[in-house]
A and B are shown apart, each in its own frame.
Chain A
Amino acid sequence: MNKTENNEPGTLTNEADNSKTENETGLLSLTTPEVPPLPEGLVAVVKRDCPTCVLVKPVLHDLHRRAGLTVISQDDPDFGEAADWVLHDHDLALSWHHSIETVPTLLRVSSQGIVTASTVGWSRPQWEQFTGVADLGEGLTEWSPGCGSLSVDPAHADTLAVRFGSAGLHSRRVELASLEDEWEAMWNRGWSDGLPVVPPTQARVLRMLEGTSRDPSEVIAVVPPSLVECSVEKIAVNAVMAGCTPEYLPVVIAAVQASCNDEFNMHGVLATTMSVGPVLVVNGPIAARIAMNSALNALGQGNRANSTIGRALQLVVRNVGGGRPGEVDRATLGSPAKVGFCFAENEADSPWGSLATSRGWREDQSTVTVFAGESPRIFVDQRSRNPESLIRHLAQALRVTGSPRMLLGIDAMLVLSPEHMARFVDAGWGRNDFMAALGEELLINSEEVLSGADGIAEGLPTAAAGRKVPKFRDEGLLVVQAGGDAGLFSAIITGWSNGPGGSDPVTHEITP
């Protein structure tokens, strides 16, 4: 018997209670209680408030007598027994740490205190097999389902998670006094992009972390401009603030991975005077699973995942990386898209495959592609009835991306709406036909865009005279399908300088 010495018989105690201590800086630190050891052998976790637990009381007696069973009660200290083989899990530490979800749960515990097997609810054959004791529960019903464990009761779950789970969180605890509005206090600390943020309490951050199987301390990326190592926990804190739900967290993590590397060059995207930010396109099964919007108003407001995932990435860059407007962020004009820009591709309705599959990923993989882009510009064509007309018109709109005289150095993303895409699909065009035809249309006669032509100083050097120059480099135009069923509009998202001196789009897999 592992019962510890205590004034209160039958109570499991913790070495350190959950005490709140205040250090010299006035910041709060929480110490975590240690888990009392489980007794060796057979253990039943029960609560008085569960009819099945009360039903099997005679069986528990029997098992104690014949197999040395220990009972751990979650509510009633002695489970009506006042016996030394009945222990009280008074702070639910054992139940929480051993992930007890149902009572009764029968456990088999090794001499090291490790659970080697378990079974839940009451089932005579299962209990007999589990315990190796025959003829259990004479006169009882064969089977009765268990009840919810107190440790997973919504009334206690958050408190327990903070009490026992917060030790794994390493972020500085900051106390916001009750005198002041929480939002004002967070704004004053410089943590917000200007919109309200959700206070990242320990309970909220722990809930957020349930969205990933990663360890909170795992370093995900080195975030510019301050080049700070960013853990899963810091991403979770900022995801809470942005308004994400836990199931969005893997997307946010992948977005941080996709952005913070030499190819995407988040530092440059931030520091440039061009008004670009990370534009996120989510592909694969996760988009539907987290109910992202790829249809009507996909690039707009109103969908929580679309609105908060991009913002969470930007808050990570702001808060962890230290990338703030007016400091390292030198965008001349900025753009509403810099608050956060994220949407999903409408893959179900696209016979052309997706942006991700065009970049070599499988359709069963979930990915996020990050592109350094501005706010979307709408392209209107309501008259083209065949693909030839529409592609020429589209090419004219794409020609002016950045400026009509900016060739090859800038990428773009084209978001084709369903009705525009149907013009091509209905005529039997595939993605390759579309890209090839568009490439043809976007070969520009250099004479038109030489420096000085038409009295405009900007342009190609005169050495480029007499050539056909493509508007975009190979793979410099990213085509995505999204939008509502009705409306002959598409969107063009202008990029930033491409290549080693600028930013290349990056696709990263989203994993749990």
Chain B
Amino acid sequence: MTVVLDPTSELTPAARQRTARPESLNGLTIGLLDISKPRGNVFLDRISQRLDSLGAEVIRYTKPTFSKPAPVDQRHEIATNCDAVIEALAD
């Protein structure tokens, strides 16, 4: 554990803020990233159906392994093609 001094104006929390959210998912493209654990695909199948009913497009992605972060090319592809991403399902 290292304690460091905040180099900023401290006008915002020390943690990074989340990216701005859209008003709704209607008309947006949502990436569903399957981390490749058993049963996660069934979960995402249902999420896909529900997103479809909200008027969102879905693109499915599968990580090669749940034990590592997604490969850089896959992250780039998601960022290029999608407006938001849901990653599931870790147990």
- A touches B (Cβ under 8 A): yes
A→B interface (CB under 8 Å): 27-28, 169, 171-178, 182, 186, 188-191, 199-202, 205, 226, 228, 233-234, 237-238, 241, 315, 319-322
B→A interface (CB under 8 Å): 1-11, 14-16
> A174-B14, A189-B16 known; A234 and B7 CB under 8 Å?
yes
* A226 near B9: Cβ-Cβ < 8 Å: yes
Rounded to whole angstroms, the CA-CA distance of A319 and B14 in the bound complex is: 11
> A27-B14, A189-B15, A190-B16 known; A176 and B9 CB under 8 Å?
no
* B15 near A322: Cβ-Cβ < 8 Å: no
Residues of the A chain whose Cβ atoms lie less than 8 Å from the Cβ of B11 = 226, 228, 322
> A172-B14, A189-B14 known; A241 and B7 CB under 8 Å?
yes
Residues of the A chain whose Cβ atoms lie less than 8 Å from the Cβ of B9 = 226, 228, 319-322
* A172 near B1: Cβ-Cβ < 8 Å: no
Closest 7 interchain pairs by CB? A171-B5, A172-B6, A228-B9, A319-B7, A237-B7, A176-B2, A319-B8
Query: CB < 8 Å: which of A28, A186, A241, A321 contacts B3?
Result: A28
* B16 near A188: Cβ-Cβ < 8 Å: yes
Residues of the A chain whose Cβ atoms lie less than 8 Å from the Cβ of B8 = 191, 319-320, 322
- CB nearest neighbor in A for B15: A189
How many Å from the CB of A188 to the closest CB on chain B?
Answer: 6
* A172 near B10: Cβ-Cβ < 8 Å: yes
* A186 near B4: Cβ-Cβ < 8 Å: yes
* A173 near B7: Cβ-Cβ < 8 Å: no
Query: CB < 8 Å: which of A28, A191, A202 contacts B7?
Result: A191
How many Å from the CB of B8 to the closest CB on chain A?
Answer: 5
Rounded to whole angstroms, the CA-CA distance of A202 and B15 in the bound complex is: 19
Residues of the A chain whose Cβ atoms lie less than 8 Å from the Cβ of B14 = 27, 172, 174, 189
Residues of the A chain whose Cβ atoms lie less than 8 Å from the Cβ of B10 = 171-172
> A27-B14, A188-B16, A189-B14 known; A200 and B7 CB under 8 Å?
yes
* B7 near A315: Cβ-Cβ < 8 Å: yes
> A189-B14, A226-B11, A228-B11 known; A178 and B5 CB under 8 Å?
no
* A199 near B2: Cβ-Cβ < 8 Å: yes
How many Å from the CB of A27 to the closest CB on chain B?
Answer: 7
Rounded to whole angstroms, the CA-CA distance of A202 and B4 in the bound complex is: 6
Residues of the B chain whose Cβ atoms lie less than 8 Å from the Cβ of A188 = 16
> A27-B14, A226-B11 known; A174 and B4 CB under 8 Å?
yes
* A182 near B6: Cβ-Cβ < 8 Å: no
Rounded to whole angstroms, the CA-CA distance of A483 and B16 in the bound complex is: 42
26 CB contacts below 8 A, A to B, read: A27-B14, A171-B6, A173-B4, A174-B3, A174-B4, A174-B5, A174-B6, A174-B14, A177-B1, A178-B1, A182-B4, A189-B14, A190-B16, A191-B7, A199-B2, A199-B4, A200-B4, A200-B5, A201-B2, A202-B3, A202-B5, A228-B9, A233-B5, A237-B5, A241-B7, A319-B7
Rounded to whole angstroms, the CA-CA distance of A188 and B18 in the bound complex is: 11
Rounded to whole angstroms, the CA-CA distance of A182 and B2 in the bound complex is: 8
How many Å from the CB of B20 to the closest CB on chain A?
Answer: 13
How many Å from the CB of B69 to the closest CB on chain A?
Answer: 12
Residues of the B chain whose Cβ atoms lie less than 8 Å from the Cβ of A178 = 1-2
How many Å from the CB of B16 to the closest CB on chain A?
Answer: 6
Residues of the A chain whose Cβ atoms lie less than 8 Å from the Cβ of B3 = 28, 173-176, 201-202
- CB nearest neighbor in B for A230: B9
Residues of the A chain whose Cβ atoms lie less than 8 Å from the Cβ of B15 = 189
Rounded to whole angstroms, the CA-CA distance of A233 and B7 in the bound complex is: 9
Rounded to whole angstroms, the CA-CA distance of A32 and B67 in the bound complex is: 44
How many Å from the CB of B64 to the closest CB on chain A?
Answer: 22
Rounded to whole angstroms, the CA-CA distance of A109 and B62 in the bound complex is: 75
Residues of the A chain whose Cβ atoms lie less than 8 Å from the Cβ of B2 = 175-176, 178, 182, 199, 201
How many Å from the CB of B46 to the closest CB on chain A?
Answer: 32
Residues of the B chain whose Cβ atoms lie less than 8 Å from the Cβ of A234 = 7
* A172 near B16: Cβ-Cβ < 8 Å: no
Beyond the given A174-B3, A200-B4, A202-B3, please list 16 additional residue pairs across the A-B interface where CB-CB is below 8 A: A28-B3, A171-B7, A171-B10, A172-B10, A174-B5, A175-B1, A176-B1, A176-B3, A178-B2, A189-B16, A199-B2, A199-B4, A201-B2, A238-B7, A319-B7, A322-B8
- CB nearest neighbor in A for B8: A319
Query: CB < 8 Å: which of A176, A319, A320, A321 contacts B4?
Result: A176
Residues of the B chain whose Cβ atoms lie less than 8 Å from the Cβ of A237 = 5-7
> A27-B14, A172-B14, A189-B15 known; A201 and B7 CB under 8 Å?
no
* A173 near B5: Cβ-Cβ < 8 Å: yes
Rounded to whole angstroms, the CA-CA distance of A178 and B2 in the bound complex is: 7
How many Å from the CB of A174 to the closest CB on chain B?
Answer: 5
- CB nearest neighbor in B for A322: B9
Rounded to whole angstroms, the CA-CA distance of A487 and B49 in the bound complex is: 70
Rounded to whole angstroms, the CA-CA distance of A176 and B1 in the bound complex is: 6
Rounded to whole angstroms, the CA-CA distance of A392 and B23 in the bound complex is: 63
- CB nearest neighbor in B for A20: B3
Rounded to whole angstroms, the CA-CA distance of A174 and B4 in the bound complex is: 5
Residues of the B chain whose Cβ atoms lie less than 8 Å from the Cβ of A173 = 3-6
Rounded to whole angstroms, the CA-CA distance of A176 and B8 in the bound complex is: 16
Rounded to whole angstroms, the CA-CA distance of A107 and B84 in the bound complex is: 69
Rounded to whole angstroms, the CA-CA distance of A402 and B5 in the bound complex is: 41
How many Å from the CB of B19 to the closest CB on chain A?
Answer: 13
- CB nearest neighbor in A for B10: A172
How many Å from the CB of A479 to the closest CB on chain B?
Answer: 36
How many Å from the CB of B53 to the closest CB on chain A?
Answer: 35
Rounded to whole angstroms, the CA-CA distance of A188 and B4 in the bound complex is: 14
Residues of the A chain whose Cβ atoms lie less than 8 Å from the Cβ of B1 = 175-178
